[in-house]
A and B are shown apart, each in its own frame.
Chain A
Amino acid sequence: MARLVIDRLSKRYGENSVVKDLSLDIPQGEFLVLLGPSGCGKTTTLRMVAGFIEPSAGSIALGGRDVTALPPWRRNTGLVFQSYALFPHLTVEENVAFGLEMRKMPAAEMRPRVEEALRLVRLDGFGTRLPRQLSGGQQQRVALARALAFRPDVLLLDEPLSNLDAKLRQEVRVEIRELQQKLGLTTVMVTHDQDEALSMADRLVVMAQGEVQQVGSQRDLYERPAGRFVASFVGRSNFLEGVMGEEGAFTTAGGLRIVLAGAAAGKATLALRPEAVSTGAEAAHLDNAFEAVVEYVSYLGSVLDVRVRLTPQDRIIVQIANRLGESLPMPGETLTIGWPANAGRVFPAEA
């Protein structure tokens, strides 16, 4: 395992920039997640690291060695494909041994390594099966064992869980994360699923349109989003357009005055998490407390999503806990909502 340094990496197809000037330093043993919507350049970045896409500019160094010009087969990266890409004509053992065989490892040394890799993913005893005789989750683990058996410098995961059903996905997340920590694997994972990203990563990189929007921990991204995009992509946010005044108060398009913890004056957008808003009696004494009219209620089980109208121009979604037995808010009702000054974040309007 090794440190991965990506320096000012770019990829252009003609006029179209897919990855712009991306720099990342991933220390040995870190689990880094590239998170973003489809087309944000995250997969292109991963494929450049693996060597399948030639960068237009920039460099990639693995364990201090510049690999930018090396073909995929000389890079020593372990890639787990979204489709698993198991060799259909080879048994599980032969699949896992393939990387070792390519490294000309003697058969006597190979056997224990293959067995160890299969044990790591809890597939010992499945060695002689063919991939098509395995379930999706088992195939995924074979792909993982295959990528680990030859001890790559970095483990690359390309949406590895997207073909699994929801329940299994939860389990495999934990499994991969535990394995990664146990073996101290430098890992880069690509995903568009924020739950997956948040639950597995040491550090996250949010990407959009080929550019890094923010790099940080789960907490950084959720509590201190660097911009409107991150605020909407990691967790949910209500956005209110308005103007930030000199006196530390934000005035919405609808004329509502909202107290905030410091921000620069000018046209701006206020971001507010639906779950940061309180309702009822506990809301009344908060920095910002308003009477709002309930417009729409979604019953989601443990929580309710309530859309409320503050002014004819300002509507937000409020997430409230669903306490069993309590009556639900009804459309047309008036509800007291409130939030503290430090709950809202203001982003200057983009020019």
Chain B
Amino acid sequence: MRGRSWRKLALDAAALLSLGFILVPLVFVTWLAFFEQEIPSFPPEGYTLHWFSAILTQKAIIDGFVTSFEVGVVATLVGLALGVPAALGLVRHAAWWGGAASTLLLMPLVVPAIVLGTAIYVAQVEAEILIYGFGIETPVIGTIGGLIAAHALIVIPWVVRLVTASLSGFDRSIEEAAQNLGATPWTTLRRITLPVIRPGIVAAALFAFVISFSNLELSLFLVGAGRTTLPIAILQYLEWKIDPTIAAASVVQIAIIAAAMLITDRFVKLTQVV
């Protein structure tokens, strides 16, 4: 009895310590965003909301935000269009190839982001050359389309995982009931299956958006001249200046992501899939 309570205490302490370790940067960034002085130093000389309004004067950050938002939305839609059918196929019709296919779909999570970025960069260069070979002169590298395609690639594994999770408790007999009542398989999918797993799809969409919105590594390789995403804009700003503006921008980004995650968790328990 005594031994067990000690063990539990030790576990709790370890969990708390880890949580604290993870939260420290978030806490400091948020704190910093409200410091009055321009050069961050401790202790703070006072507090202000000035830096949040200062974000609006930074064109690169605003542009980056807009680009990140656009890329995030479109990459999410593409990811859903490919990931939802993939998850349905894997759960419903997978035979011997199922294991291989689901591993393959999760690959983008396993490959280090920098390596993935390099690989996609090279692939897009090759693609551009290939297309040029057909006599079509279209840029691939550095285009928004190329960036979206790469982001779609990294959101697909998450879409597949979240949708698969929401399909795992799915009672197939309701699909049979629909067909018994006269619905074709297509109508069944449209009227029954998709609406029933909608929470999973919404969760997948929000999560996919977060993944894309916060991605730095892929974007570094693929953004064109004069175009930046929010994480890149923040990085570039930091190369020249360290003032709380950047902390304020980060706080805004963190708030958006946190909101998306909290909403996602309401639909699908993230602890089940991550």
Residues of A bordering B, CB below 8 Å: 50-52, 71-79, 81-83, 85-89, 98-99, 102-103, 146-147, 150
B182 contacts the other chain (Cβ, under 8 Å)?
yes
Q: In the complex, are the beta carbons of A85 and B183 less than 8 A apart?
A: no
Known A87-B192, A88-B196; contact A150-B181, beta-carbon cutoff 8 A: yes
CB closest residue in chain A, given B173: A85
Q: In the complex, are the beta carbons of A85 and B181 less than 8 A apart?
A: no
Q: In the complex, are the beta carbons of B180 and A50 less than 8 A apart?
A: yes
A192 to chain B, nearest CB (A): 18
Q: How far is the CA of A76 from the CA of B174 in the complex (A)?
A: 17
A158 to chain B, nearest CB (A): 9
Q: How far is the CA of A177 from the CA of B99 in the complex (A)?
A: 48
B169 to chain A, nearest CB (A): 11
Q: In the complex, are the beta carbons of A89 and B196 less than 8 A apart?
A: yes
Which of A75, A79, A102 has the most C-beta atoms of chain B within 10 angstroms of its own C-beta?
Answer: A102
Q: In the complex, are the beta carbons of A72 and B173 less than 8 A apart?
A: no
B195 contacts the other chain (Cβ, under 8 Å)?
yes
In the complex, what residues of B have CB within 8 A of residue A86's CB? Answer: 174, 177
A89 to chain B, nearest CB (A): 5
Q: In the complex, are the beta carbons of B184 and A73 less than 8 A apart?
A: yes
B104 to chain A, nearest CB (A): 31
Interchain residue pairs A-B with the least CB separation, the first 10 = A102-B182, A99-B181, A85-B177, A85-B173, A72-B179, A79-B180, A85-B174, A73-B179, A89-B195, A81-B173
Q: How far is the CA of A77 from the CA of B182 in the complex (A)?
A: 9
In the complex, what residues of A have CB within 8 A of residue B187's CB? Answer: 102
Q: How many residues of B contact A (CB 8 A)?
A: 17
A104 to chain B, nearest CB (A): 9
Q: In the complex, are the beta carbons of B196 and A79 less than 8 A apart?
A: no
Partner of A71, one of B173, B174, B179, B198: B179
Partner of A146, one of B179, B181, B184: B181
Partner of B171, one of A73, A76, A78, A85: A85
A108 to chain B, nearest CB (A): 19
Q: In the complex, are the beta carbons of A103 and B173 less than 8 A apart?
A: no
A113 to chain B, nearest CB (A): 13
In the complex, what residues of B have CB within 8 A of residue A103's CB? Answer: 182
In the complex, what residues of A have CB within 8 A of residue B180's CB? Answer: 50, 72-73, 75, 77-79, 147
CB closest residue in chain A, given B196: A89
Q: In the complex, are the beta carbons of B179 and A87 less than 8 A apart?
A: no
In the complex, what residues of B have CB within 8 A of residue A146's CB? Answer: 177, 181
Partner of A81, one of B176, B182, B196: B176
Q: How far is the CA of A50 from the CA of B173 in the complex (A)?
A: 13
Instruction: Sample 20 A-B pairs with CB under 8 A, ordered by A number.
Output: A50-B176, A51-B179, A52-B179, A71-B179, A73-B180, A73-B181, A74-B182, A76-B182, A78-B180, A81-B173, A85-B177, A86-B177, A87-B177, A87-B192, A89-B196, A89-B198, A98-B183, A102-B187, A146-B177, A150-B181
CB closest residue in chain A, given B197: A89
Q: In the complex, are the beta carbons of A83 and B182 less than 8 A apart?
A: no
Q: How far is the CA of A275 from the CA of B178 in the complex (A)?
A: 47
In the complex, what residues of A have CB within 8 A of residue B182's CB? Answer: 73-74, 76, 99, 102-103, 150
Which of A73, A76, A86 has the most C-beta atoms of chain B within 10 angstroms of its own C-beta?
Answer: A73
Partner of A98, one of B171, B173, B176, B181: B181
Apart from A73-B182, A98-B181, list 6 A-B contacts with CB within 8 A.
A76-B182, A81-B176, A87-B178, A89-B195, A98-B178, A146-B181
In the complex, what residues of B have CB within 8 A of residue A102's CB? Answer: 181-183, 187
In the complex, what residues of A have CB within 8 A of residue B176's CB? Answer: 50, 52, 72, 79, 81, 85
Q: In the complex, are the beta carbons of B173 and A83 less than 8 A apart?
A: yes
CB closest residue in chain B, given A99: B181
Q: What 1/0 mask marks residues of chain B from 174 to 207 whose CB sits below 8 Å from any chain A CB?
A: 1011111111100100001001101000000000
In the complex, what residues of A have CB within 8 A of residue B183's CB? Answer: 73, 98, 102
Q: How far is the CA of A85 from the CA of B179 in the complex (A)?
A: 12
In the complex, what residues of B have CB within 8 A of residue A82's CB? Answer: 173
In the complex, what residues of B have CB within 8 A of residue A81's CB? Answer: 173, 176-177
B226 to chain A, nearest CB (A): 47
Q: In the complex, are the beta carbons of B179 and A88 less than 8 A apart?
A: no
CB closest residue in chain A, given B188: A73
B98 to chain A, nearest CB (A): 21
CB closest residue in chain A, given B179: A72
Q: How far is the CA of A103 from the CA of B187 in the complex (A)?
A: 12
Q: How far is the CA of A304 from the CA of B173 in the complex (A)?
A: 43
CB closest residue in chain A, given B192: A87
In the complex, what residues of B have CB within 8 A of residue A99's CB? Answer: 181-182
Q: How far is the CA of A74 from the CA of B195 in the complex (A)?
A: 23
B166 to chain A, nearest CB (A): 13
Q: In the complex, are the beta carbons of B177 and A79 less than 8 A apart?
A: yes
Q: How far is the CA of A98 from the CA of B182 in the complex (A)?
A: 8
Q: How far is the CA of A79 from the CA of B179 in the complex (A)?
A: 10
In the complex, what residues of A have CB within 8 A of residue B196's CB? Answer: 87-89
In the complex, what residues of B have CB within 8 A of residue A71's CB? Answer: 179, 184
Q: How far is the CA of A150 from the CA of B195 in the complex (A)?
A: 23
Q: How far is the CA of A102 from the CA of B181 in the complex (A)?
A: 7
Q: How far is the CA of A340 from the CA of B184 in the complex (A)?
A: 60
A311 to chain B, nearest CB (A): 53
CB closest residue in chain A, given B175: A85
A70 to chain B, nearest CB (A): 11
